[in-house]
Amino acid sequence: MRQIFLDTETTGLSADNGDRIVEIGCVEMLHRKLTGNNRHFYVNPGRDSHEEALKVHGITTEFLKDKPKFSQVAQDLMDYLKDAHVVIHNAPFDLGFLNMELAQLGQPPVKNVVASVTDTLVMAKEMFPGKRNSLDALCDRLEVDNSGRTLHGALLDAELLADVYINLTRGQEALLMDDASALDASGNKPPAMDLSGFVLSVIQASAQEAVAHEGVLAQIDKDSKGKTVWRMLEPVAAS
């Protein structure tokens, strides 16, 4: 699977009110391994950044004055993202800006070009409800080294996001195997293993373990006011 971890920096918080993109960072991962085939653009937004935004990313109008407009990097960016599975932290924010820039060029939104979009903020909220789930907070929680992040930078943040994503999904995806990973060194599929000769031993629970198990089930059934599925199915199984 080809995944692109994407981040942007902007002049402010509202694409609808005229704020623009000033930086785009993309990091490529193929089969959960970084490839080094990244993209990084500084973009001249044609306007100043708000003071609060400048404090976040530190990218000045003076620095950006000789950088390309979004229109000059749009095709390169879209070709790079084509058919990829894109991963973004707080995706509506970045997609809102990218889609606004694309719309001004008469181009379709990002979702029409990529295979899918995954929002790691949504993932994190599901995994860590009630906790802070900013990129910095996730780096701390998942032991991702972000000591070099004094200011926000799109490429650095995309690299950190890739590390965060790997840690977020380590348990979920570690056992997944795609066709490419099933090939041997010569590019051929290994022969199927015949498991018919293996006999699996069945270890029965002891009487004491069975009694303890029934006690746990009875307590769960009591706590749920008799709504446990196994109790409802017992008469059917008995018949």
Q: Which residues are catalytic?
A: 152
Nearest to 98 by CA among 212, 8, 165, 177: 8
Cβ–Cβ < 8 Å for 63, 27: no
The H-or-E segment that residue 6 falls in is strand 2-10
Cβ–Cβ < 8 Å for 110, 119: no
User: Tokens standing for 51?
Assistant: 């003071």
Cβ–Cβ < 8 Å for 8, 94: yes
Q: What DSSP designation does 76 have?
A: H
Alpha helices, H only, 45-90: 51-57, 61-64, 70-81
Query: Residue holding tokens 């981040």?
Result: 7
In DSSP terms, 219 is beta-bridged to none
Which class for 114: exposed (0-12), middle (13-18), buried (19 or more C-beta within 10 A)? middle
Distances (CA, A) of 53 to 42, 60, 200: 15, 10, 62
Give φ, ψ of 23 to 5 degrees: -155, 145
Q: By three-state DSSP, how is residue 229 classified?
A: helix
